Amino acid sequence: MSAPADALKITGLVLLPLATLGLVAAALAALSPQSSPVASPMVLTLGQSHAANAALAATPPDLAAAGQASQRALSQAPYDSSSRLRLAYLDSLDGELSAEDLSHLELSYELLPLDQYVSTWRVGFALEYWGDLTPELRKQVETEATTFLKTSRRREMVATLEAVTSPAGVVPAVFWRERLKRRPPK
């Protein structure tokens, strides 16, 4: 092959990825909240989630501020599962899962049946209130737990299952772990 053809191939291999990167950067810049008079709901929700998480991380935790930030996030993005789960958690701190909390948990599964960002927490939370869950919701929790037990997040899920303290939730947690031992990952 000739030197000019090789140079052309090399130039193409270098310029094509750079041009693609430039187009992606331009598209992201066009979507930037600064280019629009209305802020992106994703950015707003993310800000509310940070505010809620910061309120929970405070010493002592500011539960009211966390709840308010989560409510604001849901008003801006009704499909925000993390905010729904946070509200259910905050309300459950009295030791009971209300109908509204159960609704938040159910909707989080309807929106994202398998959510890599909250799966271990959500499964653990659901198992702690296992006795309050509907059969349909229990099946969704089982599906998420057993699915993540087959992924690279297996150790996290096993740790979640081992940490369950509710007598009703321990039974399925142990069953799922034992079933996993009989069927090791491929």
Model confidence pLDDT, tens digit, residues 56-77: 888 898 889 989 999 998 988 8
The arithmetic mean of pLDDT across residues 92-109, rounded, is 92
C-alpha angle with apex 69: 63 to 75, nearest 5 degrees? 135
* 104, 72 contact by CB (below 8 A): no
pTM of this prediction? Answer: 0.72
Is the pLDDT at 38 greater than 70? The verdict is no
- Taking the chain, what is the end-to-end CA distance rounded to the nearest angstrom? 45
- The first and second tokens of residue 40, run together, are 């992106």
The arithmetic mean of pLDDT across residues 137-141, rounded, is 97
Residue 153: pLDDT band with limits 50, 70, 90: confident
- The first and second tokens of residue 7, run together, are 């140079």
- pLDDT score recorded for residue 10: 54
* 126, 141 contact by CB (below 8 A): yes
Helix, strand, coil percentages, rounded to 5, for the chain: 75, 0, 25
Least trusted range by pLDDT, from 31-35, 93-97, 163-167, 177-181:
31-35
Burial 38-50 (b: 16+ CB within 10 A, else e): eeeeeebbeebbe
Residue 104: pLDDT band with limits 50, 70, 90: very high
**Mean pLDDT across the chain, nearest whole number?**
79
Of residues 11 and 52, which shows the higher confidence score? 52
Of residues 34 and 172, which shows the higher confidence score? 172
Cβ atoms within 10 Å, residue 7 = 10
Token pair 């604001």 is at which residue?
72
Cβ contacts of residue 140 below 8 Å, gap of 6+?
109, 113
- pLDDT score recorded for residue 33: 39
